Amino acid sequence: MDIVKYPDPVLRRGGKPVEAFDASLADTAAKMIEAMYRFGGVGLAAPQVGLELALLVLNPSGDPDKKAEELVMLNPKVLSRKTLEWGEEGCLSFPGIYGDVERHAKISVRYDDLQGEEQVIQAEGFLARVILHEMDHIEGVLFVDRLSPVDRLRVKSRLLEMERAYKAPA
């Protein structure tokens, strides 16, 4: 499983609701977790592997030995949000590009787990940031869309470079 880079249009298509909680879904999630670790990330959303699904995986530690911190979320919806905070983000679809994004630091999110059971998580700080970043991917929103004006200007030439280097799949 490989990771789709900006400006591949699949990143703008977002993800559709997941309805079949079957073995193939569990297999896809496992492969995404493996790819997330392999590329040194803390989160990955299905559009980043070319799949239009409301599916995301994360581990805020980025440490494959800390399985207890892994989360697989299907069909996530924010129930409540408060306290905006700025923090630095990167994204596996934008290698080497980092910048400050303002996000809610205290959130409550409902989602389905791999068994199709509804779950609710309260998340704060970095975990909340990772969840919201990955949920954006499911809406086709990218962290560069939310950069501070200063960082937007700072990464502009890097983004143009990626756009020039991009070759649409034949």
Interaction site with Co ion (CB under 5 A): 91
Contact of 44 with 70, CB cutoff 8 Å: no
Residue number, 120 or 166, with CB nearest to Co ion: 166
How far apart are CB 60 and Co ion at their closest, in Å? 14
| 134 given a catalytic annotation | yes
Residue number, 33 or 91, with CB nearest to Co ion: 91
Contact of 53 with 31, CB cutoff 8 Å: no
Question: What is the maximum span of the chain, computed from C-alpha positions, in angstroms?
Answer: 45
Residue number, 32 or 91, with CB nearest to Co ion: 91
Tokens of 14: 């977002």
Q: Catalytic residue, from 134, 139, 161, 163: name it.
A: 134
The residue whose Cβ lies closest to Co ion is: 91
Long-range own/partner contacts, residues 58-61 (CB < 8 A, 24 or more apart): 58/130, 58/131, 58/134, 59/33, 60/126, 60/127, 60/130
Instruction: State the CB neighbour count (10 A cutoff) for residue 78.
Output: 14
How far apart are CB 88 and Co ion at their closest, in Å? 13
Q: Considering only CA atoms, which of 31, 59, 27, 32 is closest in space to residue 45?
A: 32
Alpha carbon distance 147, 104 (integer Å): 14
Residue number, 6 or 111, with CB nearest to Co ion: 6
How far apart are CB 138 and Co ion at their closest, in Å? 11
How far apart are CB 133 and Co ion at their closest, in Å? 6
List the catalytic residues.
Answer: 134
